[in-house]
Every structure is written in C-alpha cells, then in structure tokens.
Amino acid sequence: MAEREPGRGTLYVVATPIGNLGDLSPRAAEVLRSVDAVAAEDTRRTSRLFAHLGVPSPTLVSLPAFDERGRLQTVVSRLQAGQAVALCTDAGTPGVSDPGAALVAAAWDAGARVVPVPGPSAALAALSASGLPADRFFFTGFLPRKGGGRAEQLAFLAGLPATLVLYEAGNRTGDTLADLATALGDRPAAVARELTKLHEEVVRGRLSELAARFGGEVKGEVTIVVAGAAEGAPRPLEAAQEPLEGELRRRLEAGEPPSGVAREVARARGLKRSDVYDALERLKRPGG
C-alpha cells in the first residue's frame, strides 16, 4: 500500500510489464491500487493495466514523451498537496529510454519523497539471457538514426571495455547490426526480440551473422547486447579513418563492387551514400 507522510507527497516510480502482464509485481499492483493519481506515458495503455488488475483506475495524468516538461506542473502540484502519485510508462522502467526522468527530478526539487518500485526492464532481461558478461555493462538506448551523430556514438562505443546494451526498432535492426559490425568489429552479440511476449526470441551469434539473419522484415521491439572491447584493443572505426579518397581507391583497386563500397563507407563514416557514390565516380574518371 502507498505510504503517506502528512504534508509531503510521494512519487512512486513503478516498473510495469514489457509484455507479459504476469510480471507485474504484487507490490507494484498494490501501489497502483492505492495512489491518488497515476502519471502515465499513455493513459490508454495504463487503463488496460488497471483492467487487468480488476480495479477502477485512479485519476490518470498524461505525461507523453513529446511534452513531459510541459505537463510536469500538474503532477508536481499534486505532490505539493501531499498526494501519492505513481509514475509509469507504457512498458518497463520509467526514465530508461522512456519519459520520467524530468518528473523525478522535479519531484525531488519540490521536496517530495521518491520511491522506486522495481520490476521489468527489457535491457536487463536481454542482458541476463545473452550469456555475455554482466558485471560491467553500458546502456546506450537508441542510437542516433543517421549522420555524424550516429558515427560519433558508434566510435565512442567501440572503445568501451563493457558489454553494450541498446534498443532498436524492428525495421532498423538489420542496418544497426551491420553498422555495429563495421564500427566495432565482428563481436559476439545477442538479439532479444519481443521479450516476454508470445513470439519472444533470443538469438546469439557474431554481429555479421545476426545482421544477415535479421536483415529482412523484423517485427516487434528489439534489444541488442554486444560484447565489449578488450582492454587496450584498437577501435575498428578509428583504424578505418584513412583519407576518404585513399580508402575508396584502395577498395576499388581490390575489385570490390562500387555499390558495396559506397554502402559500407557511408555507414562507417556517417556520410550520405550519394556523396560517397559521387566520390567514387570522380575516381573512375580519367585522371581521377
């Protein structure tokens, strides 16, 4: 049951199931039943959770990712009035690649109690099932979609001597695995798809193998776990950063197809594929 202090509100940070509703802990269920309000990423999803519990939902306050900061004050006002409020997102632990961190910080600033109610997390579930070292790991959420930001993040991850955990959408999984193989080297990894759901799948292999396996249509939510760099090992992405023209000329002279060269070089360097194609065309001209 939610505890209350006179004149001081409490924010409960409640982890909710990532798929199987049976993973909702008895403590989380009791907190949700007894609070005055729930700050929810999507009130429709949270309403279904209360339907599963078989109890009417309390006041639901929408706290979507796109406007979390703009809606904080509604929840903070409740906390300042001494209410007990639960924070939950659509699935998993609030604040972990989901909204919630800004509200938790605002609750502390407002003098409220902040109480974690731990439970499901796709990142930890995938890590625990991956067979890769879990004594030291780095969670990076979603990579930037493209461009220099993606290349910089991959270069940073390449040198970390810790197991890497990241999220990806199903339709981008193949490309991300290929980018990881290019930037980090062909390391051992695992792909966890649709964790705790009907079509759950956990697959281990080298990054290149997994990129081939998941290169087609992939449905659902995906967590990728990758072995960390060996202590003192060179970073593959950094080693590849010879001058662009030199790399293109070397690979063309080795007989690699221009389409494959353009694709791989663009990924590794965070460039537009069309720009790499243009550079290749210039090299193929007389005197290029």
Residue 14, pLDDT score: 98
* 60-107 pLDDT per residue, tens: 999 998 888 899 999 999 999 999 999 999 999 999 988 899 999 999
pTM (2 decimals)? 0.78
Q: Is CATH 3.40.1010.10 correct for 10-120?
A: yes
* 192-248 pLDDT per residue, tens: 999 999 999 999 999 999 999 999 889 999 999 999 998 766 655 554 456 888 878
* 247-256 pLDDT per residue, tens: 788 878 877 8
As given in the structure block, the two tokens for residue 50 are 């209360």
- Parallel, antiparallel or unpaired: strands 113-117 and 137-142: unpaired
The neighbouring-strand residues paired with 226 are 164, 189
Q: Matching CATH topology for 10-120 and 123-232?
A: no
Q: Is CATH 3.30.1650.10 correct for 123-232?
A: no
Burial class (CB in 10 A: 0-12, 13-18, 19+), 75: buried
The Cβ-side half-sphere exposure at 261, using a 13 Å CA radius, reads 23
b/e per residue, 126-142, with b = 16+ CB within 10 A? bbebbebeeeebebbee
Residue 65, pLDDT score: 87
Residue 18, pLDDT score: 96
Residue 242, pLDDT score: 66
* 119-175 pLDDT per residue, tens: 999 999 999 999 999 999 999 999 998 777 888 889 899 989 999 999 999 999 999
Q: Using the predicted structure, report yes or no on whether residue 267 has a pLDDT greater than 80.
A: no
If one compares 150 and 285, the residue with the highest pLDDT of the two is 150
* 5-60 pLDDT per residue, tens: 666 899 999 999 999 999 999 999 999 999 999 999 999 999 999 999 999 989 99
Residue 287, pLDDT score: 64
Using DSSP's 3-state secondary structure scheme, residue 86 falls into strand
* 102-135 pLDDT per residue, tens: 999 999 999 999 999 999 999 999 999 999 999 9
Residue 24 DSSP code: S
Tell which residue, 198, 193, 196, has the closest CA to residue 210. 193
Q: Hey, where are the domains in the chain?
A: 10-120, 123-232, 242-283
